[in-house]
Amino acid sequence: MPELPEVETVTRGLTPVMEGHVIDHVVQRRPNLRFPFPENFVDRMAGRKVDQLTRRAKYILGYLDDGQVLLIHLGMSGRMTIHDDRTAAVPAPEKHDHVDFVMRGGAVVRFTDPRRFGVITLIAADEVTSHKMLAGIGPEPLGNAFNSAVLAAGIAKRASPIKTVLLDQKLVAGLGNIYVCEALFRSGIAPNRLAKDLKLAEIDRLYREIRLVLEDAILAGG
């Protein structure tokens, strides 16, 4: 499953062709992924400008000029590829190519998902923090709201293995199995240690390694 570094890499790759650009039209090739597409999805997307493209946890958020937000989750096997008909012919869609976002100017952003656990939907901009998919998600691990004190407070009374606790998206957003394991390894902390038993020095080291592991992964492209 794509985790925070992979989703951040995808978001950064999409930004030059989507942010500040207009979606000419959308080609939708099936009625659903994990959930059905929004009603009149194709019509609602046509002609919309993407004012901002950003990431929250493992979600890609495209803020549109009419107050809607395009919410995308890659699920287990989703990926997004960029084609440009100004430089080469756009490949014919294959079996698992479910959606094309055709941008004015020539770029085509294609969503491919063999297992169809991904999500593409529309929500209102003022519902981003309260929407059922986003409500309750913890702070971004690379943001200013997350630090060693926040981590210490979040695990202080947790009588569960530290690996399990770090995978709780309510504690910190976007961490998945691969990067939790790597951060614990670099910190010298066994994954089965009870979270509440960690010393402050260990927590401080773990916080630093979480950030470094994610930064290294993003630098490597996920």
182 is catalytic: no
For residues 27 and 98, is the Cβ–Cβ distance under 8 A?
no
Residues 29 and 58 in one domain: yes
Range of the domain at 89: 4-127
16 is catalytic: no
Tokens of 125: 């901009």
Paired with 83 in beta bridges are 108
Residue 162 lies in a domain: yes
Average pLDDT over residues 123-151: 97
CATH at residue 192: 1.10.8.50
- For 23, the enclosing helix (H) or strand (E) is strand 23-28
CATH at residue 90: 3.20.190.10
Residue 72 lies in a domain: yes
- Report how far residue 159's alpha carbon sits from residue 132's, in angstroms, rounded to the nearest whole number: 27
Residues 123 and 167 in one domain: no
CA angle 158, 159, 160 (to 5 degrees): 90
Average pLDDT over residues 129-140: 96
For residues 94 and 111, is the Cβ–Cβ distance under 8 A?
no
pLDDT recorded at residue 84: 87
H-state helical runs in 106-159: 148-155
Average pLDDT over residues 124-150: 96
Residue 98 lies in a domain: yes
- Total structural domains in the chain? 2
Is it the case that residue 217 has pLDDT exceeding 90? yes
Residue 134 lies in a domain: no
Active-site residue, selected from the candidate residues 3, 6, 8, 209: 3
pLDDT recorded at residue 85: 73
Distant-in-sequence, close-in-space partners of 81: CB < 8 Å, separation ≥ 6:
109, 110, 112
Residues 90 and 182 in one domain: no
Q: What is the DSSP letter of 119?
A: E
pLDDT recorded at residue 28: 98
Residues 60 and 165 in one domain: no
Residue 136 lies in a domain: no
Residues 119 and 72 in one domain: yes
Is it the case that residue 149 has pLDDT exceeding 80? yes
Tell me the per-residue pLDDT of 60-119, one tens digit each, with 9 for 90 and over. 999 999 999 999 999 999 999 999 877 778 899 999 999 999 999 889 999 999 999 999
Q: What is the pTM of this model?
A: 0.94
Residues 58 and 164 in one domain: no
In the numeric block, the tokens 């012919």 are attached to 89
Residues 101 and 184 in one domain: no
Tell me the per-residue pLDDT of 154-211, one tens digit each, with 9 for 90 and over. 999 999 999 999 999 999 999 999 999 999 999 999 999 999 999 999 999 999 999 9
Residue 8 lies in a domain: yes
pLDDT recorded at residue 76: 94
Residues 90 and 122 in one domain: yes
Tokens of 105: 């100017």
Residue 94 lies in a domain: yes
- Final residue of a domain: which of 127, 162, 195? 127
Residues 17 and 51 in one domain: yes
Question: From start to end of 32-125, where are the E strands?
Answer: 50-56, 59-64, 68-73, 79-84, 97-103, 107-112, 119-124
- Cα-flanking dihedrals φ and ψ of residue 131, to 5°? -65, 145
For residues 165 and 155, is the Cβ–Cβ distance under 8 A?
yes
- Report how far residue 70's alpha carbon sits from residue 200's, in angstroms, rounded to the nearest whole number: 40
Residues 123 and 153 in one domain: no
C-beta atoms surrounding 155 within 10 Å: 21
Residues 105 and 152 in one domain: no
Tokens of 170: 């309510």
Residue 77 lies in a domain: yes
pLDDT recorded at residue 172: 97
Active-site residue, selected from the candidate residues 2, 5, 139, 141: 2
Residues 54 and 111 in one domain: yes
**What does pLDDT average to over the chain?**
97
